[in-house]
Copies of this chain bind each other. A is one copy, B any other.
Amino acid sequence: MPLTQARTMPGVMELLPLDQIAFAEMLDTIRRNYERFGFLPIETPAIEYSDVLLTKSGGETERQVYFVQSTGALEKGEDKRPELALRFDLTVPLARYVAEHEHDLSFPFRRYQMQRVYRGERAQRGRFREFYQCDIDVIGKDELSIRYDAEIPAVIYSVFRDLSIGPFTIWLNNRKVMRGFFEGLGITDTERQALALREVDKLDKRGVDYVRDTLTGEGFGLSTEAAKKILDFVQIRSHGHADALAKLEALGQGSEVFNQGIAELREVLTMIRALGVPETHYAINLSIARGLDYYTGTVYETTLNDHPQIGSICSGGRYENLASNYTKSKLPGVGISIGATRLFWQLREAKLIDTAQSTVKVLVTQMDEAQLPAYLELATQLRNGGIATEVVLDGGKLGKQFKYADRAGIRFVVVLGSDEIAKGTVTVKDLRKEDQFEVPRAELVRTLRVELEQAEAMKI
């Protein structure tokens, strides 16, 4: 039979084991922090009914959806939309989950979910058709205190602090402030607000003059004064806690919704501080809008200070009603998402993430085939002590076995020769420290555990 070419479709990230370990460590760090803040895990099926996933049908989303059909369904040659599809995010499945299990959940319901989602993106470098999303959301029943909005930045801080990928800033805004501000200028239509914001987004690329000209040009027809106010407003950034409060103060009073937005931002800032987030790591940024048709209050973005080109690595916000397509209950919520696959890819491109060391910590070498039972016993001792261990079963020259360990990223190599057997000891070579030592067999597990725990604590 002719060979089939072994290949994957474009837009997926498939890793070699040591990179997979690095990626898994990143996901573990995210998960650990989500759990620390009291979020509970859920998983939903990758395949859902199309009518459930695509309640807001049509539009960009539906163009990107992957539909799913069994052979039977294909053979029926249905000309209607297939019954099943792959999830394209974790928000729609969450809405469905909460509506379906409403009576079995306690509210506020804090959930985290870290699963893959699927989008039929155009094949292009850095665009993924399959990627992990790592989401947290707090869902209230009928209402949800603004205080929950303040906990989210504390989670973001904790995650990225532990990921150790350099200094970062959590940017805060509130859609009510933005809405109130635009309404104050007479731009009450959400669609027009969105258009203005889209122009404002071009500030970095096209410069102030270009954007001012567009806003005052024929299409928009804003006064020069209004355009200036918008440009001044969206360029507001704070530096430190006191400055953030001062800049909010300086905005003065406005409409009811404006004042409410300011009050909310102020409360969020105060609580973030009480939660111990250093003031170097959060700031207000009045240009942040996020999905205009979805978010209604606090909105978040997060950027790496030294790598602005990467863009926001963690975003989200407050929404009015999660699951209005599935239930009459009002379910307000607040949440964020980390696109972990893209983030990992970008961090590797930026050389901020290295290939990991192996999950295997010890290689038990084979000096003498006749001693194989002793090597196996030693491996069992290490494994029962919780230390991931590989035994050389095939033999071969000791030098080659050492080289294998080095290339495979295994830190410790254990040698048990006739000398050591006579003395009841083992020789351990530490390939990282380029050091070697001899320990009594009974102390091997304890010694290695101490070394490994120290290495973990020091992140080396």
Q: State the A residues within 8 Å of B (CB).
A: 1, 3-9, 12, 14-18, 20-21, 24, 35-38, 40-49, 51-52, 55, 62-72, 74, 82, 84, 86, 95-97, 99-101, 104-106, 108, 110-111, 116, 118, 120, 129-130, 145, 147-148, 151, 154, 158, 271, 274-276, 323, 325-328, 358-360, 372-373, 376-377, 379-380, 383-384, 386-391, 393-394, 404, 407-408
Contact = CB atoms under 8 A, between A and B. Distances in A.
Given A20-B43, A71-B63, A105-B16, A55 B4 contact: yes
Contacts of A74: 67, 82
A387 B32 CA distance: 10
Contact of A49 (B9, B47, B389): B9
A120 B70 contact: yes
Contacts of A47: 9, 12, 66, 86, 118, 129-130
A129 B43 CA distance: 15
B52 A4 contact: yes
A376 B48 contact: no
Interface of A is mostly: mixed
B40 A360 contact: yes
A9 B51 CA distance: 12
A52 to B, nearest CB: 6
Chain copies in complex: 2
A446 B37 CA distance: 18
Contacts of A391: 38, 151
A127 to B, nearest CB: 14
B404 A48 contact: no
Contact of A154 (B14, B40, B45, B380): B380
Given A36-B389, A145-B394, A147-B393, A6 B360 contact: no
